[in-house]
Chain A
Amino acid sequence: MSAARSAQAPLAGSEPLIDAHAHFYHAAAGRADWADVNAARFRAGERIGITYHVASVLGSYGFSSPTYFPSPRDVTVGNDAMLDLCAREPDRVRMFVTVNPNYTDHALSEIERCAARGAIGIKLLASRRADDPLLDPIAAEAAARGMPVLHHIWQHRRREWPSQEISDGADLARLASRHPKATFILAHIGGGGDYMHTFPAIADHPNILPDISGSGVDRGMLDAAVAALGASRLLWGCDLTMETGLAKLRALDAIELTSDERSAIRWRNAARIFPRGAFPRCASLDGANPDARAR
């Protein structure tokens, strides 16, 4: 291989890689550099070797309604932006449809509308505690459609924090218990709070898979996650910091997982829990058919 080609090789290797927790911005998000931020995600994604960005738009990101309590109008505008992006980038972007469970009818109609146009998962923010009954119709709909629910989580909720109605692993576990046929992605164990509380809180709930995204790169966090839950329960992701995503991939290499365990975290677990056929490039790159393991 020439030096030039070698320099272009993905930093995280050429095996498929699915970012199960990504976000994009749009013109109504209240920041002038929104397109630059999106471009930067694609730039870094190419450099890392991300095969698919599974992403959501969080309403207006606080510009016209709060990020974690988006108005129905902003939810729809954001989902429209995400649908447009998926249409422009069909080879590398997949969509979570964002909903606010305080507006049940609107949430269900958004799921139906966006799933019909290709959304493969549902994104819940911190608009309502995870174990609240208002989330039941959404979880039931997710189970019926085979769409995983990515739920924003604060690792170990010890008190209320401003701007969010936060939930932790124990809250999500109660919802997961009521909906054993639904699959839940527990957001960003590196995204703040005490992840060591999360692992035992969800250990007995196999329909909860944490993603390892977030700016937190505590030494020992990944080792503890694998030890507590096993590689088959973890999803790779970046959220807002892609350098920490790359660092975690490199750390997974350093903690001496088997190649099967690394593949599980990189992409196979995602291919298993999202709808059949969601990631065709993974199947073609690997020579394997991830859909064979789909539910």
Chain B
Amino acid sequence: MIDVNALIGSYPFRYVPHPEPGVLVRVMDREGIDIAWVGHLPSAFYRDPAPGNVELVRELAPFGSRLRPVPTIRPDWPRWEHAVRAAREHGAPAIRVYPPQWGVGPGDERMRELALAAGEQGLALVLTVKFEDLRQRHPMDTAGDLTAAAIRDIARAGGAVRLVVAAAGREMIEEVHWGLTPDEQQRVYWDISWIWGPPEDHLAKLLRTIGPERFVFGTQWPLRLTQSPRSNLDLLPDDLRGVSLARGEAICGAASASRVARATRA
């Protein structure tokens, strides 16, 4: 099992216990998680995330292939193209972006260019809808949630784009999915960490209507309990018991296949 939505490092708006990679690995062992895609939480709030990426790679290095770095790259920061190539060289499966925290709105051409460039390198783009429930946010946490319009816009940037959208709920997922063409829908994967289970059964409804191949396992550790997405899967109705979600390799593989196809056509 791959957790595509893990992080290390502190969070500026509340205390988070032990957000270190060594603790993450112990939690993964306990929960039966083989590999985690790991971002650097403080970098979401840095003006320049580059030092955070250096720290991320250094912190994860002792844990080999179990913790795969997911660097943060701003499309409005000079030389971001170099950062994308560096991410690839460090074995990253994806990169993270935080448009609300950076004031990058829907329709921003730079975000589309970054998504395409990442896809060309076989890297998915991890988008985070929210870190915390709207109702508990610090007064200085004014960025707001990532919007469905922003996700649709990036998904439409081109065939090489692969998005992993973390921390979305049912309404946003449905709004985005059914607002895309069938081809565009194939570029978007949804992490299940914030989707409600029973009795509303939002996850079950989404798996039936949109399909399990569009969903991936994610926890949003260290902000949230790793036990939550696992419990959600355990409580699916009988007809969905044991359903297989998409795996991280499938996301990267799809991006790589798209890159090869484009190269062949060229």
Q: Are B225 and A248 in contact (CB under 8 A)?
A: yes
* Least Cβ–Cβ distance between B14 and chain A, in angstroms: 7
Q: Is the CB of B232 within 8 A of A243?
A: yes
Other-chain residue from A218, A219, A220, A240 in contact with B200 (beta carbon distance below 8 A) = A240
A243 with B235: CB separation less than 8 A: yes
Chain A residues, CB < 8 A from B265? none
A133 interface residue per 8 A CB criterion: no
A251 to B81, CA, bound (A): 41
Q: How many interface residues does chain A have, given as a range?
A: 35 or more
Q: Which of A48, A193, A220, A244 contacts B228 (CB 8 A)?
A: A244
How many residue pairs bridge A and B at CB < 8 Å? 102
The CA-CA distance from A217 to B197 in the complex, in Å, is 13
CB-defined contacts of A285 to chain B, threshold 8 Å:
none
In the complex the two chains form, what is the Cα distance from A215 to B133 in whole Å? Answer: 9
A48 to B14: give the CA distance in the assembly, Å: 31
Q: Select which of A156, A161, A243 is within 8 A of B231 by beta carbon.
A: A243
Give 1 or 0 for each of B205-243: 1 = CB within 8 Å of chain A CB. 000000000000000011111011011101101000000
> What is the CA–CA distance of A192 and B133 in the complex, to the nearest angstrom?
7
Interface residue from A40, A43, A161, A247 paired with B227 (Cβ < 8 Å): A247
Shortest Cβ distance from B197 into chain A, in angstroms? Answer: 3
Instruction: Output the nearest chain B residue to A248 by Cβ-Cβ distance.
Output: B225
- What residues of B have a CB within 8 angstroms of the CB of A246 in the complex? 227, 231, 234-235
- For chain B, the count of residues having a C-beta within 8 Å of the partner chain is 31
Minimum distance in angstroms from B7 CB to a CB of chain A: 11
**Which residue of B has the minimal Cβ distance to A196?**
B14
Least distance between B19 CB and chain A CB atoms (Å): 9
Inter-subunit contact A40/B199 (CB<8 Å): yes
How far is it, in angstroms, between the C-alpha of A243 and the C-alpha of B203 when the chains are bound? 11
Q: Is the CB of B197 within 8 A of A48?
A: no
- CA A220 – CA B19 in complex, angstroms? 11
Residues on B with beta carbons closer than 8 Å to the beta carbon of A154: 135
**Complex CA distance for A162 and B24, rounded to whole angstroms:** 39
Q: Report A-chain residues with C-beta under 8 Å of the C-beta of B203.
A: 243
How long is the Cα–Cα vector from A11 to B227 in the complex, in angstroms? 12
Does A38 touch B at the CB level, under 8 Å?
yes
Query: Are the CB atoms of A158 and B139 closer together than 8 Å?
Result: yes
| A-contacting residues, B137-156, CB 8 Å | 139
* Cα distance A43–B234 in the bound complex, in angstroms: 12
A36 to B90, CA, bound (A): 49
A residues 184-220 touching B (CB-CB < 8 Å): 192-196, 215-220
User: Which of chain B's residues have a CB closer than 8 A to the CB of A158?
Assistant: 139
Tell me if A219 and B198 are in contact (CB < 8 A): no
Given A193-B136, A254-B30 in contact, is the A40-B222 Cβ separation under 8 Å?
A: no
| CB-nearest residue of chain B to A42 | B199
- Does B196 interact with chain A (Cβ within 8 Å)? yes
In the bound complex, CA of A44 to CA of B197 (Å): 9
Please name the residue on chain B nearest to A195 by beta carbon. Answer: B136
In the complex, whether B64 has a CB less than 8 A from a CB of chain A is: no
Name B135's closest neighbour in chain A (CB-CB). Answer: A192
Taking a contact as CB atoms under 8 Å apart, the answer to whether B199 and A219 are in contact is no
Tell whether A41 is near chain B: CB-to-CB under 8 Å. Answer: yes
Contacts of A220 in B (CB 8 A): 15-17
Q: Chain A contacts of B232 at CB under 8 A?
A: 243
Let me know if B235 and A219 touch, CB within 8 A.
no
Separation of A248 and B232 alpha carbons in the complex (Å): 12
Most chain A beta-carbon contacts within 10 A, residue among B14, B17, B221, B227: B227
| Cβ–Cβ < 8 Å partners of B228 in chain A | 217, 243-244, 247
Tell me whether B113 is interfacial, beta carbon within 8 Å: no
For A215, the chain B residues whose CB sits under 8 A away are: 133, 196
Extra contacts besides A192-B134, A246-B235 (4): CB < 8 Å: A192-B133, A219-B224, A240-B199, A243-B198
In the complex, 27 of the A-B residue pairs with CB atoms within 8 angstroms, ordered by the A residue number, are A37-B200, A40-B198, A40-B237, A41-B198, A48-B235, A155-B136, A161-B135, A192-B134, A192-B136, A215-B133, A217-B228, A218-B225, A219-B222, A219-B225, A220-B16, A220-B17, A240-B199, A241-B200, A243-B197, A243-B198, A243-B231, A243-B232, A244-B231, A247-B227, A248-B225, A250-B230, A251-B227
Residues of B within 8 A of A (CB): 14-17, 30, 132-136, 139, 196-201, 203, 221-225, 227-228, 230-232, 234-235, 237
**Residues of chain A whose beta carbon lies under 8 Å from any beta carbon of chain B:** 11, 37-38, 40-41, 43-44, 47-48, 154-156, 158, 161, 192-196, 215-220, 223, 240-244, 246-248, 250-251, 254
